[in-house]
């Protein structure tokens, strides 16, 4: 039985990961630590586990692995502490808001000989798995270009504070698409041009809520990507991940979260979409538990997180300088 702890419930994904741990027969959510004690106690009570206010006591409580779901800028410190304590680690995306922090996290885990995974659950979406298999089989010939979106609702709170998030919607939503494209196409990104906007929350937040990116991958593959917090509170679901692949032998359009039921809710006083497909978060957490049990690297590695961070950091540099940036 893998004993897993969660470090911080600042990120909403922590609640999904906790629910996944409760669902897996071979795992136990053994403890919660949070620098916000009130939030941590509430989460521990919700998921039927213990809250430990002291980080050292938390890390010394017999845990086999930890999931880090704090604010982005706190990832490095928590990962370094957990690695020094000999814990396997799954870190929320982005792995870090800077390349230097991401590299330091990889080095700390290498030195401590512990596994480091990055939370990219889209790799466990069945539609994206099927797309990867078809593209790698050659069914669409040589892939020439891809057009991508990752639109979502504004998460609020620390996500709009650069000092905690390191960026806005472009930081939040580019890493998913960058990772999926690397995974499906087996190519690295070589350059990016980006323009940022604050067009949906003008005056309300000080960071970007829209990023328009043009990227190039190895082999000359051209990629366009729109990342945004553009979905209204009344929108039926949180957002989307879509990719249109253009190949020499055909075009493949993937809408990763389009398996849904229309729900007309009197409680919510709006129409909602209830997703009924496979649970990507469960696949992600199950793989992490496997890595903990076998003392091997998670399938989505810290290096994968670093590569996605490099793309995002270069995008912000491009927007700041107004020119294409080599990655």
- Is it true that 2-122+281-301 and 124-280+309-326 share their CATH fold? no
What are the tens digits of pLDDT across the range 282-318? 999 999 999 999 999 999 999 999 999 999 999 999 9
pLDDT at 272: 86
Domain boundaries, the chain: 2-122+281-301, 124-280+309-326
CB atoms within 10 A of CB 137: 8
Pick the CATH number of 124-280+309-326 from 3.40.50.300, 3.30.360.10, 3.30.70.2860, 3.90.550.10: 3.30.360.10
Tens digits of residue pLDDT in 259-268: 888 898 888 8
Whether 96 has a pLDDT exceeding 90, the answer reads: yes
Q: Which residues contact 193 (CB under 8 A, 6 or more apart)?
A: 213, 214, 215, 318, 323, 324, 325
| CATH class of the domain at 2-122+281-301 | alpha beta
Residues in the chain: 327
State the pLDDT at residue 194: 98
Entry pTM: 0.95
Residue 32's closest CA among 157, 117, 22, 84?
Answer: 22
Question: Tens digits of per-residue pLDDT, 139-152?
Answer: 999 999 999 999 99
Distance of alpha carbon 326 from the chain centroid:
23
Beta strand pairing status for 2-7 and 65-68?
parallel
């Amino acid at each position: 039985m893998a004993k897993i702890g969660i470090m911080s419930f600042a990120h909403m994904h922590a609640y999904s990961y906790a629910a996944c741990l409760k669902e897996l027969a071979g795992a136990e959510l053994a403890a919660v630590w949070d620098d916000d004690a009130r939030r941590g106690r509430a989460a521990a009570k919700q998921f039927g586990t213990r809250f430990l206010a002291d980080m050292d006591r938390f890390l010394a409580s017999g845990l086999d692995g930890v999931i880090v779901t704090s604010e982005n800028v706190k990832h490095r410190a928590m990962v370094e502490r957990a690695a020094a304590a000999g814990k396997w680690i799954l870190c929320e995306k982005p792995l870090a808001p800077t390349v230097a922090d991401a590299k330091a996290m990889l080095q700390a885990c290498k030195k401590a000989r512990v596994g480091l995974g990055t939370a990219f659950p889209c790799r466990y979406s069945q539609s994206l798995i099927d797309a990867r298999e078809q593209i790698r089989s050659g069914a669409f010939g040589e892939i020439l270009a891809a057009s991508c979106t990752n639109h979502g609702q504004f998460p609020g709170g620390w996500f709009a504070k650069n000092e905690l998030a390191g960026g806005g919607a472009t930081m939040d939503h580019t890493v998913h698409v960058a990772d999926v494209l690397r995974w499906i196409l087996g190519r690295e990104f070589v350059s990016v041009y980006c323009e940022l906007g604050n067009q949906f929350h003008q005056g309300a937040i000080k960071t970007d809520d829209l990023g328009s990116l043009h990227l190039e991958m190895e082999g000359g593959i051209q990629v366009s990507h729109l990342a945004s917090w553009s979905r209204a509170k009344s929108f039926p679901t949180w957002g989307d991940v879509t990719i249109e692949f253009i190949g020499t032998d055909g075009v493949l359009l993937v809408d990763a979260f389009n398996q849904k039921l229309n729900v007309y809710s009197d409680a919510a006083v709006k129409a909602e979409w209830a997703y009924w497909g496979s649970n990507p978060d469960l696949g992600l957490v199950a793989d992490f538990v496997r890595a903990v049990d076998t003392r091997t690297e998670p399938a989505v590695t810290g290096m994968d997180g670093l590569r996605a961070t490099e793309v995002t950091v270069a995008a912000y540099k491009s927007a700041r300088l107004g020119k294409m940036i080599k990655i």
